């Protein structure tokens, strides 16, 4: 029986999200998995529903989709700043709490302080040898391309989704 992979990421915000989701799911199928895209959810969009009700329905539906998965593959590239999409990060945490295997993919393996410098500017090396942002706040520098709360539990793959799905396939073959 094929394992199911929840495809977490900010792809849902693109105008062609459904086409992107279809391509990601097709790649999963090519590698022997069943892809689950967040927009596969079924929500109540009845006339008269408030934005709050719609948001709650999406949240609950996505949790159910994650629960159907064996593995989560998350796009952890920068989204609207130097950090990954906050919704994706929540989904990764939820999957971790559920004991699911978690993979994340990044286009580049660059230090967190470099990402902050690229997206926010003003990074300096303080006298104590730690990097600080333009507000003087310390930037984690533990040799990881992400905050340690993602960098430790997530199997990180440098490259596009295709590299991630190939790594999942290799790891599953070893299991």
> Crossing angle of helices 51-68/86-97, nearest 10°?
40
Quickly state the pLDDT bin for 43 (edges 50, 70, 90): confident
Residue percentage of the chain with pLDDT more than 70: 99
Domain ranges within the chain, ordered by starting residue:
4-109+145-174, 110-143
Q: Quote the radius of gyration of the chain (alpha carbons, Å).
A: 18
CA–CA separation, 104 vs 160, rounded Å? 10
Q: Under 8 Å CB-to-CB from 104, ≥6 apart: which residues?
A: 73, 74, 75, 76, 84, 92, 146, 150, 154, 155, 156, 157, 164
Per-residue model confidence (pLDDT) at position 47: 81
| C-alpha closest to that of 35 among 94, 87, 103, 84 | 103
Out of 33-42, 43-52, 103-112, 115-124, which region has the weakest mean confidence (pLDDT)? 43-52
At a CB cut-off of 8 Å and minimum separation 6, what does 119 contact?
78, 81, 82
Confidence check: pLDDT of 42 > 80: no
**What mean pLDDT comes out for the span 6-21?**
97
Mean predicted confidence (pLDDT) in 157-175: 97
Cα–Cα distance between 155 and 157 in angstroms, integer?
A: 7
**Of 106, 39, 35, 109, nearest to 72 (Cα)?**
35
Q: What is the reported pLDDT for 164?
A: 98
pLDDT in tens, 104-156: 999 999 999 999 999 989 999 999 999 999 999 999 999 999 999 999 999 99
Mean pLDDT along residues 46-50: 83
Q: What is 4-109+145-174's CATH topology?
A: Rossmann fold (3.40.50)
* Tokens read off for 19: 């086409």
pTM of the model: 0.94
Residue 27: per-residue pLDDT: 98
Specify the pLDDT at position 49.
85
91: its two tokens: 């989904």
Confidence label for 41 from pLDDT (cuts 50, 70 and 90): confident
Chain-centroid distance of CA 39 in Å reads 15
Long-range contacts of 24-32 (CB under 8 A, 24+ apart): 24/161, 27/161, 27/162, 27/165, 28/165, 31/165, 31/166, 31/168, 31/169, 32/2, 32/169
């Amino acid at each position: 029986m094929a394992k199911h992979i929840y495809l977490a990421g900010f792809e849902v915000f693109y105008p062609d999200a459904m086409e992107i989701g279809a391509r990601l799911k097709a790649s999963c199928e090519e590698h022997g998995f069943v892809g689950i895209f967040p927009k596969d959810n079924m929500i109540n969009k009845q006339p008269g529903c408030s934005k709050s009700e719609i948001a709650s329905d999406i949240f609950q539906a996505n949790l159910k989709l994650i629960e159907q998965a064996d593995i989560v593959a998350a796009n952890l590239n920068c989204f609207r700043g130097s950090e990954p999409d906050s919704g994706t990060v929540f989904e990764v945490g939820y999957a971790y709490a559920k004991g699911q295997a978690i993979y994340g993919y990044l286009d580049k393996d660059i230090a967190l302080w470099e990402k902050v410098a690229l997206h926010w500017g003003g990074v300096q090396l303080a006298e104590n040898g730690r990097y600080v942002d333009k507000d003087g706040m310390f930037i984690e520098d533990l040799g990881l391309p992400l905050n340690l709360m993602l960098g430790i539990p997530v199997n990180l793959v440098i490259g596009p989704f295709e590299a991630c799905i190939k790594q999942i396939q290799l790891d599953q073959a070893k299991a």
